[in-house]
């Protein structure tokens, strides 16, 4: 991250700029940055493309940003459209718009109110989601809290977490129309699901709720059901597995 150079970049119209190290970058027009850029703060209210990597302590996008390389930032606020062709390392992030990642995404806490699409794996300490998600790899978290709000794709290949909660959004007029969360495998300690389609749900304490379709449930503690659901089979097993970031098992979760 930038340590401060006294060099600022401010764009009001349409221009090209070479990459480098900056204190502050403000883009309110259209800007193409040739190469990689590093800044203490990087804010976009127009359109910006970066042909290399981008790293910043604060990254805020209220427009359209395309990064050909990797994105690394400590504090992230995404309210527009953000596309990263490489990897993302986002420590504290809030996504209110659309964020697309070409490889993997890692970080600490993410607040998701828009749509997140990741072609690789996602590793976070916590995910607070009230939007849409599409992860083609493993979603590995300490805690996952999802409320399926948007009529958008909600799909994750695998989820591994300590605590997992998936619910549909409720309103004064009843449940809002949503698409189910579709997952191949869910593994965790405490699992509570609604509107979820999964092949295998494996955990300590498992709750299968309204709108769920699960081929097989494996649990070592408690198993509860409610509402309208379908479970192919539920099996009690003996296990001492723990799930979440940094925990390894034979399935890599």
**153 plus 227 within the same structural domain:** yes
Average the pLDDT over each of 13-17, 23-27, 80-84, 89-93 and give the range with the smallest value: 13-17
Cα–Cα distance measured from residue 200 to residue 130, given in angstroms and rounded to the nearest whole number: 24
Are the C-beta atoms of 2 and 21 separated by less than 8 Å?
A: yes
Domain boundary (103, 137, 168) is at 103
**49 plus 22 within the same structural domain:** yes
Cα–Cα distance measured from residue 200 to residue 33, given in angstroms and rounded to the nearest whole number: 46
Residue 115 lies in a domain: no
**83 plus 142 within the same structural domain:** no
Are the C-beta atoms of 204 and 187 separated by less than 8 Å?
A: no
Are the C-beta atoms of 89 and 106 separated by less than 8 Å?
A: yes
**25 plus 135 within the same structural domain:** no
Q: What is the separation, in whole angstroms, between the first and last Cα of the chain?
A: 31
**67 plus 127 within the same structural domain:** no
Quick: pLDDT tens for 192-211: 999 999 999 999 999 999 99
Name the domain count of the chain.
2
Per-residue pLDDT at 152 = 74
**35 plus 128 within the same structural domain:** no
**182 plus 73 within the same structural domain:** no
Structure tokens at 45: 């209210």
Domain boundary (76, 103, 130) is at 103
Instruction: From 34, 48, 35, select the one nearest 78 (Cα to Cα).
Output: 48
Residue 209 lies in a domain: yes
Residue 220 lies in a domain: yes
Characterize the bridge pairing of strands 174-175 and 170-171: antiparallel
Are the C-beta atoms of 177 and 161 separated by less than 8 Å?
A: no
Q: Report if pTM > 0.85.
A: yes
Q: What is the mean pLDDT of the chain?
A: 91
Domain boundary (103, 132, 164) is at 103
**148 plus 91 within the same structural domain:** no
Instruction: From 218, 220, 152, select the one nearest 185 (Cα to Cα).
Output: 218
Quick: pLDDT tens for 138-158: 999 999 999 987 677 899 999
Average the pLDDT over each of 42-51, 104-113, 173-182, 233-242 and give the range with the smallest value: 173-182
Q: Would the pLDDT of 4 be above 90? A: no
Q: Would the pLDDT of 2 be above 50? A: no
**185 plus 213 within the same structural domain:** yes
Four-point Cα dihedral 207, 209, 213, 214, nearest 10: 0
Per-residue pLDDT at 253 = 35
Residue 117 lies in a domain: no
Are the C-beta atoms of 24 and 8 separated by less than 8 Å?
A: yes
Q: Would the pLDDT of 240 be above 90? A: no
**16 plus 54 within the same structural domain:** yes
Structure tokens at 152: 């958008």
Residue 142 lies in a domain: yes
Residue 251 lies in a domain: no
**99 plus 126 within the same structural domain:** no
Burial (CB count <10 Å: 0-12, 13-18, 19+), residue 134: middle
Quick: pLDDT tens for 127-139: 999 989 999 999 9
Are the C-beta atoms of 1 and 40 separated by less than 8 Å?
A: yes
Residue 217 lies in a domain: yes
**151 plus 214 within the same structural domain:** yes
Q: Would the pLDDT of 46 be above 70? A: yes
Residue 152 lies in a domain: yes
Q: Would the pLDDT of 177 be above 90? A: no
Q: Would the pLDDT of 28 be above 80? A: yes
State the residue range of the domain holding 97. 1-103
Instruction: From 189, 180, 192, select the one nearest 154 (Cα to Cα).
Output: 180
* pLDDT-derived band at 239, boundaries 50, 70, 90: low
């Amino acid at each position: 991250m930038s340590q401060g150079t006294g060099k600022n970049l401010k764009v009001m119209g349409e221009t090209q700029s070479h990459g480098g190290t900056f204190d502050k970058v403000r883009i309110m027009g259209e800007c193409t940055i040739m190469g990689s850029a590093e800044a203490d703060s990087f804010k976009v209210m127009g359109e910006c493309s970066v042909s290399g990597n981008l790293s910043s302590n604060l990254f805020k996008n209220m427009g359209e940003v395309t990064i050909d390389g990797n994105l690394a930032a400590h504090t992230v606020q995404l309210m527009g459209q953000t596309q990263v062709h490489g990897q993302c390392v986002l420590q504290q992030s809030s996504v209110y718009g659309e964020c697309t990642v070409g490889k993997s995404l890692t970080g600490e806490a993410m607040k998701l109110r828009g749509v997140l699409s990741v072609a690789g794996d996602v590793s976070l300490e916590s995910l607070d989601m009230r939007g849409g998600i599409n992860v083609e790899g493993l979603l590995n978290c300490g805690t996952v809290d999802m409320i399926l709000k948007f009529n958008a794709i909600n799909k994750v290949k695998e989820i591994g977490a300590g605590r997992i909660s998936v619910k549909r959004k409720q309103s004064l007029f009843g449940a809002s129309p949503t698409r189910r969360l579709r997952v191949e495998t869910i593994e965790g300690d405490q699992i509570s699901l609604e509107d979820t389609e999964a092949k295998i749900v494996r955990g300590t304490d498992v709750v299968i709720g309204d709108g769920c379709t699960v081929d097989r449930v494996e649990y070592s503690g408690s198993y509860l059901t409610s509402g309208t659901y379908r479970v192919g089979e539920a099996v009690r097993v003996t296990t001492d597995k723990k799930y979440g970031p940094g925990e390894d098992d034979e399935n890599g979760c």
